[in-house]
Every structure is written in structure tokens, then in C-alpha cells.
Structure 1
Amino acid sequence: MRAVVVQSPGGVEALDVVDRPVPEPGPGEVLIKITAAGVNRADLLQRRGFYDPPSGATDVLGLECSGEIAATGEGVTDFPAGTQVCALLSGGGYAEYVVVPAGQVATVPRGVSLVEAGALMEVASTVWSNVFMMGKLQHGETVLLHGGASGIGTMGIQLCKAFGTTVVTTVGSDEKADFCRGLGADLVVNYRTEDFAEQMAAHDMAADVILDIIGAKYLQSNIAVLATAGRLVVIGLQGGIKAELDIGALLAKRAAVMATSLRARPSAEKAAIVSAMVAQVWPLLAEQTVRPIVHATFGLEQVREAHQMLEDSSHTGKVLLTL
């Protein structure tokens, strides 16, 4: 099969399409013939040598996919051959086939195409596990989502609005701001021209939950905009890894700072996240309250162009590889 690997860490030129054997599913696993695979910023980090796969995982890139069940391992009865599915992966999505534990697989929701389903699992699982499970966002609260035009951001805006919350988000252009407003965001801040903490203060807003992809650069401002008993969930470090934390400000607000990663979690934890997420999110997709946002698709041999699009932040929503 064709698969994408990184022979030596570097820029987009480090991505190579190579031949690999088709993997075989073991007990509790399924083999998926891939139709589409999501391209995520974590893949860019792995390409540069900053985000190694978990121990035992394939070196083939790709953290999510959609496709059809090609074979099943011992003990798997929920996914007959030919079932259209999408899956949360530890790696292996940039290929024609991938093996994954059955607990990390879900049937494609009604009303979503098989290609669009390639844009679902990583973003929906990330938002659900961090904003709703860890952050415990409740109806009537306010959430701040950094990177509103990203795959995670576009899914986050829609899900948070569907559950009756006020949504604040940051973006890098006026065009992306307009798009996020169209998805339902209540306050959109262009971080290139405005300060989100100042804008939230001007609108008398505080965040009960913050989903942060920036890290150190935003730490002080994030804590400043937290509401009493607010929860800051850090899932990315685009703005650095070290910053000074004002513990007194946290104490005064009885607030919490949490940091988490989805990829490194044990399979049983990922399965629990997928199960909870599917129960809550799939009905919203079926009734088209929420939809996957696909900005562009590329063939597997165009993987370098796909990565460059993410590097340039010229996308709104998800970028997919299709096979």
C-alpha cells in the first residue's frame, strides 16, 4: 500500500510516499480501507521531529480517517466488512489501509459523506473531551475558543452553540472572523489587530471555559479573562512552553489550569471518549445542527501541498487527504 512517512525531520519536503505492507488486524482491531484522512497540526509537529508517535504506534502519519471496514480481528462483531466508518488513530491515517482498535471506530453519521467523515473524529473528540468532559462546560456559560477558524475551532463553535453557551473566539483575519460569526460565534476577535482580553472586558464578558492552543504566550491573558471557578484547558503550545503563572490570580478566582493530550492516552480512554462523543454529537450531525467544515482536499501524492496549507494558515476548517 501507499503510505506517507518522514524519513528525516524537516519541512514539507521531508514527507515521502512509500510502499508498506498492508497491516493485519489483531484481536479487537479492525482494518480500514481509507477514503479520507484529516491533516492536523500535530502532523506538522511530527514531521518536524517534535511529536513522536506513542510507543508501539506506526510511523505513518495521520490521526484520523474515514473509509470502509476491510477485515476484522478476533472478537470484533460490531463492524461487518463494508461498513462505512471513521476512526480516531494514534497514527497511520496517511495510507491506503490502517489498523485501529474497534473502540476508536464509529459508523459514519447519517447525512455526512464518507469523505466529510474524514474531518470528524480528531476535532469532535478533542472538543468533546476537553471542553465538555474536562472543562465541564454547562448550558448558559461562556467559552473562549482560540483559533476559531481551525478544524477544532469550527467544530467547537458549532458544538458549544448547540449546547446553549455563549462563544468567544480568536482568528487571524477579518474573512475568518466573518466565517466564525456565520457559524454562530457571539464575539470574534482578530488577534492581529485586537487584544482578546481587552475586547472581552469591553463587552463585560468572562470565560467559564477556555480551550487554548497557544500556551505560554496567552497564559496571562487567559487567566485575566477567566470567570470565577473558570477552567483553562491547554491543548497546544504554538506560543511557547514556559510562562510565569500568577497563582494568586488563580486563587482569587478559584480557577483551574489543565493541560492534556489526546494522542498519548491509552486505547481504553480513547474508546470512552469516542463513545461519549458519538452519543452526544452524532445526533447533531444527523439533524445538521453541526456539520464538518472541509476547506480543501488533496490526493495522497499532494501531501506536501496539504501540509503547506496548514503551515500558511490559509485554511478555514479541515484539510483532507483523499484516496
Structure 2
Amino acid sequence: MHAIIFDEERLVWQEQPSPPPIGSDEVRLRVAWAGMNRADIMQRAGHYPPPPGASEILGLEVSGTLTEVGPAVERLRVGDQVCALLAGGGYAEEVVVPCQQVLPVPHGLGLREAAALPEVFATAWLNLFMEGALKPGERVLLHAGASGVGTAGIQLCKAFGHPCFVTVGSDDKLEACLNLGAEAGWNRHQGSFVEAVKQWGSPDLILDPVGAGYLADNQQVLNVDGRLVLIGLMGGRCAELDLGRLLMKRQRLIGSTLRARPSRAKGIILDALHAHVWPRLSNGEIRPMIDRIWPIDQVETAMDYLQSNATIGKVLLAVSGEG
């Protein structure tokens, strides 16, 4: 098969060994589309190595067609069109993945749209509803609202009745988030978001991929009994935590990652998506947000664009381009 490899710091599409034979609960799929994520940028820079045993090839989500199914797999068949959440290996013509990490393409969508779903909706669902334990009517502050996870989170908040405030990097991004269902928002280039969020109302949950740079302001606006769910470190990893505020407001700080979780845990998340989100994708209430598409052999250009912070939603790579 062909896959993207590192060649003297360049990303090159060239022949590589195919994935090993599948296990009894695994499937092999022919990749049509691969989703790009900031984790890929971090891995390329040497800051986010894959979990032990995972492929060194970049790529955490794909869509494609099943070509082989293990004997213990019951709900999937050769020829099914699916999308998959990976620990690595997506920038390639083939992947092998545990069946728990595979879902059918939602009714009414194609393989291209499906590649934009697994990583961002799994991350948003996990951290809003499982780690964050949102209760009916609670309010949410989403940082990086125009990102893949942000646009998924906005739509989930709207669908399940949670008013949502976003921070973004441009007025165009803010308009896009409001059109998706965010109730209000703030362009971070206009200064601190604290007063704007306070006027809107204290959030009960903050989903934050920024980290250190936002910690103090997050604590200021987070409600009593509020949860700050940290999913990234774009703004640094070290900051001062106001323990007095944490104590008196009974705030909780939760660190959360998805990639290194075992297959069983990922399967629980994907089962929840299949039950609660897939029907809304099928009826059009929720939709995948695709910003731009590049052929897989133009991955350098695609990654430069992703790193530019200009995106609204997902960047995809066409592998076979099927569907």
C-alpha cells in the first residue's frame, strides 16, 4: 500500500508495508478519505507520539469500505461503507482497526462527509456529556469554536438544549458559529472574553483546548459547581491555579484525552454517538463541517493550511476519493 511517511522532515506519499493480518475482533478497510487534526501537527513536531502499539503513520480518522472482517465481528460485513476512529495510521490506503472503533456511514451521507465525523464528534461527546456530565439546560463555553471539535460541540449543544458561547479568532468565524447555533461569542483579538461571557451568563462547563493562557479567565467566569474540561495545550502547559476560587466555587478541573483510551472505552463513546448523534446526522439536524479538501499527495499544503488557524470545520485528504 501507499502511505504518508516522514522523509527528512517532509511528508511523502510512498509505498509502505500493508498493515498486519487482522485479529479476530478487527477489520481492514480500504481508505477513501482521511480527516486531519491538530494532533497530526503535534505528532509531526514530536510532541504527541502515538500510544504503544499504534501505527507511526499520521491520521486519527478515516472513512472507507471494509475489505476483511475478523471471525468474532458480528455487526459488520465486507463491503460495508464505514468511518473509523484510529490511534494512528489514517494517512494510508489501508488501515486495520478494532471493530469497536468503527461505525456505519450515517444514512444520507457519503464517505467524504463521514470522514469528518469520528474524531471531532467523539471528542465533543466525550467531554461535554461523559467527562463534563452536562445536565439539562446547563450553559457551555466553547473555546476555538470554529475548529472541528468546536463546530461539532456547537451543534451538539444546540441539539440537546445547552446554550453555548464561543470564542474564536475572527469575525467570519464568529458569524459561522452563530449560524451553526451558538447563542453568542467573542473574537479573541478584541481582548479578554471575561466581561462578554459574564454579561451572557456564567457557564456550567468550559471545553478548552487552549490551556495555560486561558486558565485564570476560565476560573473567573466558571459557575459554582462548574467543570473546566481541558482537551489541549495550544496556549501552554503551565499556569497559576487560584485554589481559593476553585475551593469556594466548588470548581472542577478535568484533563481529558481520547487517543490513548483502550478500544473498549472508545467503543462506549462511539456506541453513544450511534444512538444519539447518528440519527440527527441522518435527518440533517446535525451536519459535518468540511472546510477544504486536498489530495493525499498534497498533504504538506493541507497541513500548512490547518496550522494557519484559518479553518472553519474539518480539512480532509482524498485517498481514493471514493464516495
TM-score (norm 2): 0.96
Q: Hey, what does 1:74 align to over in structure 2?
A: 71
Q: Secondary structure at the match of 1:229?
A: coil
Q: Is the aligned partner of 1:213 residue 2:245? A: no
Which of 188, 193, 196 is residue 196 of structure 1 equivalent to?
Answer: 193
Distance 1:92 1:30 in 2: 14
Partner of 2:56: 59
Matched, 1:29 2:26: yes
**C-alpha deviations, 1:17-48, integer Å up to 9, x for none?**
22112223222100011111110000000000
Q: Is the 8 A contact 1:144 1:211 kept in 2?
A: yes
Q: What letter matches 1:237 in structure 2?
A: L
Q: Please, which of 255, 264, 269 is the counterpart of residue 265 of structure 2?
A: 269
CA contact (8 A) 1:297 1:322 kept: yes
Query: What residue number does 1:95 align with?
Result: 92
CA deviation digits over 1:263-300, x for unaligned, max 9?
A: 01111111111111221110111111100000111111
Contact 1:15 1:47 in 2 (8 A): no
Q: What secondary structure sits across from 1:115 in the alignment? A: helix
Deviations 1:100-149 (A, max 9, x none): 00000000111221111000000010001111111011221110110011
Query: Deviation of residue 80 (structure 1)?
Result: 0.8
Distance between the aligned counterparts of 1:155 and 1:145, measured in 2? 11
Deviations 1:136-169 (A, max 9, x none): 1122111011001111111110111100010000
Q: 1:256 and 2:252 equivalent?
A: yes
Name the amino acid aligned to 1:34: V
C-alpha distance in structure 2 between counterparts of 1:186 and 1:57, whole Å: 39
Structure 2: segments with no counterpart, 5+ residues: none
Residue of structure 1 equivalent to 2:134: 137
Indicate the residue corresponding to 1:319 in structure 2: 315
Give per-residue Cα distances to partners, 1:43-75, cap 9 Å, x unaligned.
000000110010011111100000110111231
TM-score between both structures, scaled by the size of structure 1: 0.96
**Residue 46 of structure 1 corresponds to which residue in structure 2?**
43
Are 1:15 and 2:19 matched, yes or no? no
Residue aligning to 1:170? 167
Say which of 295, 298, 308 aligns to 1:302. 298
SS at match of 1:198: helix
1:236 aligns with 2:215: no
For 1:103 and 1:93, the matched residues in 2 are separated by 16
Supply the distance in 2 between the matched residues of 1:202 and 1:72 (Cα, whole angstroms).
54
SS of the equivalent of 1:66 reads: strand
Whole-Å Cα distance in 2 between the matches of residues 251 and 312 of structure 1?
38
Match of residue 111, structure 1, among 105, 108, 112: 108
- Structure 2 distance, partners of 1:113, 1:81, is 17
Provide the aligned C-alpha RMSD in A.
1.0
- Please list every run of at least 4 consecutive aligned residues from structure 1 whose deviation after the TM superposition is greater than 6 angstroms: none
Identity of aligned residues (%): 48
Corresponding residue for 1:5? 5
C-alpha deviation, 1:193, in angstroms: 1.1
SS in 2 for 1:79: coil
CA shift at 1:7, angstroms?
4.1
Partner of 2:224: helix, strand, or coil? Answer: strand
Matches of 1:162 and 1:282, distance apart in 2: 12
Question: 2:157, 2:108 → 1: CA distance?
Answer: 20
Secondary structure of the 2:235 match is: coil
Indicate the larger mover: 224-233 or 191-200. 191-200
More moved, 86-95 vs 66-75: 66-75
The answer for the alignment partner of 2:155 in structure 1 is 158
